[in-house]
């Protein structure tokens, strides 16, 4: 399964991280609850485990780039830079019942026609999913998992920007569930049933 998604434009600001709740086809759980891949006792008569299994095995920085091309002059610039954020989400199988979800976030800060800084982060999560119906697996990978990964990716970005000599940028929370449902419906209407939604845009 492959797919990617990104939200509509929204302003970004400094501040403390905020939590948001999403309505998903698979019930959301706290990070501590879903970390790992724990098997249940629901076993069929032939010994095969038939119960749904879903959990994050691990998460990691896959790639991180920070550019500060106009230092040190940039620290004397007046006014607030314009912040542009783009992201997409990809999911693909890497083994039986195991998927990798990668959240890509690109941030560009510009003052007039000059670049203050640029950040690109690929933040990955390894997900175990077994006995999950196809109609629930895709929203789980493209909406629920990004919701869990996003606060950690946001912290990595804030630290990188602060280490570059700028105030940390706290990205606004994103309703991945609502975005997935809205844009998946648009993709299905445009491409026909049976094709995975492909969603692109800017934040």
Q: What pLDDT does residue 47 have?
A: 54
How far is the C-alpha of 123 from the C-alpha of 3, rounded, in Å? 15
Q: What is the Cα 144 distance to its own chain's centre?
A: 9
Find the DSSP H helices in the chain.
Answer: 31-34, 134-139, 145-163, 176-191
**Domain 54-191, CATH 3.10.420.10 — does that match?**
yes
Calpha distance 138→129 (Å, rounded): 11
> Which pLDDT score is estimated for 46?
53
Phi then psi for residue 15, to 5 deg, are: 155, -170
Q: Are 132 and 52 in contact (CB under 8 A)?
A: yes
Domain ranges (residues) in the chain: 54-191
What's the rounded Cα separation, in Å, for the pair 12 and 75?
20
Q: What is the pLDDT along the chain (203 residues), one digit of tens a residue?
A: 444 444 334 445 444 333 333 333 333 343 333 444 443 444 444 556 689 999 999 999 999 999 999 999 999 999 899 999 998 999 999 999 999 999 999 999 999 889 999 999 999 999 999 999 988 999 999 999 999 999 999 999 999 999 999 999 999 998 898 888 887 888 777 765 444 444 454 66
pLDDT at 118: 98
For residue 84, give the H/E element and its range.
strand 82-95
Q: How far apart are CA 69 and CA 128, in angstroms?
A: 40
- The rounded distance, in Å, linking the Cα atoms of 51 and 13 is 43
- pTM for the full predicted model: 0.73
Chain mean position to CA 187:
19
CA distance 124 to 145: 10
Q: For position 185, what pLDDT does the model report?
A: 82
């Amino acid at each position: 399964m492959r797919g990617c998604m990104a939200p509509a434009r929204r302003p970004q600001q400094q501040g403390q991280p905020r939590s948001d709740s999403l309505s998903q086809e698979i019930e959301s759980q706290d990070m501590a609850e879903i970390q790992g891949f724990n098997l249940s006792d629901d076993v069929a008569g032939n010994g095969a485990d038939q119960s749904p299994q879903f959990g994050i095995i691990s998460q990691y920085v896959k790639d991180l780039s920070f550019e500060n091309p106009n230092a040190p002059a940039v620290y004397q610039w007046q006014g607030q830079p314009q912040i542009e954020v783009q992201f997409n989400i990809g999911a693909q199988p890497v083994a039986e019942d195991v998927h990798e979800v990668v959240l890509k976030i690109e941030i560009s800060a510009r003052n007039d026609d000059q670049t203050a800084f640029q950040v690109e982060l690929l933040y990955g999560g390894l997900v175990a999913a077994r006995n999950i119906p196809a109609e629930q697996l895709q929203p789980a990978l493209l909406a629920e998992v990004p919701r869990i990964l996003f606060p950690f990716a946001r912290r990595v970005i804030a630290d990188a920007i602060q280490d570059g000599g700028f105030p940390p940028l706290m990205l606004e929370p994103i309703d991945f569930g609502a975005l997935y449902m809205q844009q998946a419906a648009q993709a299905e209407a445009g491409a026909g049933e049976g094709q995975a939604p492909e969603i692109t845009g800017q934040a």
